[in-house]
Chain A
Amino acid sequence: MACMAIIMTGSMAAIEPKSIASREFKNLSVLPKNISAGELSKIMIDEFEDGLGVSCSFCHAENKETHRPDYASDQKPEKEIARAMMRMTIGVNKKYFNLRRPLIGEPSLAVTCETCHHGVPNPGQQVGQ
């Protein structure tokens, strides 16, 4: 399973890429626009795919012509929810754990997607539900 290029994050200068972006990703509103491909991939896989047990198409709409994920599209509401969740996660780490510049995907975070999701799309979801 795997996912790719997404989304997000709004107010943040919070995430600082360690390397130069290998390409420009479109419609990033939470994650920094110059995030590197490697960093973006790591967030998509570790935070979302493994953290929620989903694949790319959970948030990303499909381009009906090419049948490929349209990473820039905001068509699916799940994508906006993901953005809101990232903002919330950053806020929780800042407000309650006194992290100065919490970065999504960084091991220093006290609270991550996984903290509540435990590998499922909806926290609290059990087998067979």
Chain B
Amino acid sequence: MATENTIITNDNDDGIDRAGFIKCMAWAGTGILWMMNGGVLKSYGMSQLIDKTTGQLKQHVMVPPADFSFVQISDSHIGFNKAANTDVLGTLRAAISKINTMPSKPSFVLHTGDLTHLAQAEEFDLLEQSLKSVQTEKIFYVPGEHDVLNNNSKEFLGRYGKETKGDGWYSFDFKGVHFIGLVNVLNTSEGGLGFLGNEQLSWLQKDLEPLSASTPVVVFAHIPLWAVYPQWGWATRDSEQALSLLKRFGSVTVLNGHIHQTMQKTEGNITFHTAASTAFPQPAPGAAPAPGPMKVPAERLRAVLGLTNIEYREHQHTLAVTDAPLSESNTQ
């Protein structure tokens, strides 16, 4: 019988099975060390850093920067008021409360789109007022298709697009990790699929060029960059081009929203993760004739909404992604 210490599956496809993991553990210190050197963050395998004769760190090795964590929230749909959730502001506040009671304050929050339901100014205002109470340094946004309904995202970009490129894409670095916010909702193509477009892909290529392959990369966008369920538009038509640019990196984490449920998949060096909504659930792929807001019993609603906490630790080559429902209750 499986215990919590048993590795059942190896989702990371990294060649490390249970036996391999134990072997690595025996070789204490296995992993990647991030070091700041001349203003440049570089990664080194531990074998490069350990002095084999003493078993200690080689001289002149700096202590790696502190770990950090950030939170992803998604699909708050402020303005939605149908049966699937008549109090989306209340459930957003519950998510905020969850963030504020986390053991360690997240360095920042990523909102992966559909902040609002109809892209109305008053909906954005309500969201902003609520998010002011989040205890974090900064909140980063990418738009969902609901945020760009009017005037091709003018309202969204007026608020959040000041330091972005093109239609709102951007990147930033935080403690050695490169973060990239992509916009794949403006050109939604046949079947509702997301679309990045050549201009954004060219920018992405240039943005990634100066980075070493050992730089951890986090990409976030609204519509999934992997084919979750293309029949429902839960994929991005030209995502392969973006993913091919990311293949050379050792650690890539792709965070999306849009489908209002958590799902994870690992392909080589890339881990894909979709977040739950803070507003309402949607059916599992293929479990209904079409996607859309799904009504669940009121007492179960908060168990199917939630947020995602992501922790970055220098000695691991993937980021630890944890989903948290707004309520632990899962009674029917």
Q: B124 → chain A, closest Cβ, in Å?
A: 12
Q: B189 → chain A, closest Cβ, in Å?
A: 6
Q: In the complex, which of the residues A42, A55, A58, A129 has the most CB atoms of chain B within 10 Å of its own CB atom?
A: A55
Give CA–CA (A121, B293) in the complex, Å.
Answer: 15
The range of chain B's interface size is: 20 to 34
**B151 and A23 within 8 A (CB):** yes
A129 partner residues in chain B, CB cutoff 8 A: 289
Query: Known: A45-B117, A50-B82. Contact between A38 and B150, CB under 8 A?
Result: yes
**A22 and B150 within 8 A (CB):** yes
**A2 and B195 within 8 A (CB):** no
Give CA–CA (A49, B232) in the complex, Å.
Answer: 12
B191 partner residues in chain A, CB cutoff 8 A: 55, 57
Give CA–CA (A120, B146) in the complex, Å.
Answer: 20
Contact of B189 among A1, A2, A41, A67 (CB under 8 A): A67
Q: B264 → chain A, closest Cβ, in Å?
A: 21
Main DSSP-derived SS at the B contact region: loop
User: Is the CB of B291 closer than 8 A to any CB of chain A?
Assistant: yes
Q: B259 → chain A, closest Cβ, in Å?
A: 9
User: Is the CB of A4 closer than 8 A to any CB of chain B?
Assistant: yes
Give CA–CA (A52, B150) in the complex, Å.
Answer: 21
B306 partner residues in chain A, CB cutoff 8 A: none
Q: A6 → chain B, closest Cβ, in Å?
A: 11
**B187 and A67 within 8 A (CB):** yes
B192 partner residues in chain A, CB cutoff 8 A: 1, 54-58
Give CA–CA (A42, B80) in the complex, Å.
Answer: 10
User: Is the CB of B63 closer than 8 A to any CB of chain A?
Assistant: no
Contact with A along B31-56 (1 / 0, CB 8 A): 00000000000000000000000000
**A67 and B289 within 8 A (CB):** no
A55 partner residues in chain B, CB cutoff 8 A: 145, 188, 191-192, 233
Q: Which of A73-129 contact B (CB under 8 A)?
A: 119-121, 125-129
Query: Known: A55-B188, A55-B191, A67-B189. Contact between A126 and B149, CB under 8 A?
Result: no
Contact of B289 among A5, A38, A125 (CB under 8 A): A125
A68 partner residues in chain B, CB cutoff 8 A: 152, 186-187
User: Is the CB of A17 closer than 8 A to any CB of chain B?
Assistant: no
Chain B residue at minimum C-beta to C-beta distance from A46: B82
A28 partner residues in chain B, CB cutoff 8 A: none
Contact with B along A38-66 (1 / 0, CB 8 A): 10011011100110111111100010001
Give CA–CA (A4, B150) in the complex, Å.
Answer: 8
**B144 and A2 within 8 A (CB):** yes
Give CA–CA (A128, B285) in the complex, Å.
Answer: 11
Contact of A127 among B145, B189, B195, B288 (CB under 8 A): B288
Chain B residue at minimum C-beta to C-beta distance from A23: B151
User: Is the CB of B89 closer than 8 A to any CB of chain A?
Assistant: no
User: Is the CB of A69 closer than 8 A to any CB of chain B?
Assistant: yes
User: Is the CB of B158 closer than 8 A to any CB of chain A?
Assistant: no
User: Is the CB of B118 closer than 8 A to any CB of chain A?
Assistant: yes
**B188 and A56 within 8 A (CB):** yes
**B289 and A41 within 8 A (CB):** no
Contact of A57 among B144, B151, B188, B288 (CB under 8 A): B188
Give CA–CA (A67, B238) in the complex, Å.
Answer: 11
User: Is the CB of B64 closer than 8 A to any CB of chain A?
Assistant: no
User: Is the CB of A37 closer than 8 A to any CB of chain B?
Assistant: yes
Q: What are 15 A-B interface contacts by the 8 Å CB criterion? A: A3-B145, A3-B149, A22-B151, A23-B151, A37-B150, A38-B118, A41-B149, A42-B118, A46-B82, A49-B292, A53-B288, A53-B290, A68-B186, A119-B292, A127-B288
User: Is the CB of B190 closer than 8 A to any CB of chain A?
Assistant: yes
Query: Known: A1-B192, A2-B144, A55-B192. Contact between A41 and B290, CB under 8 A?
Result: no
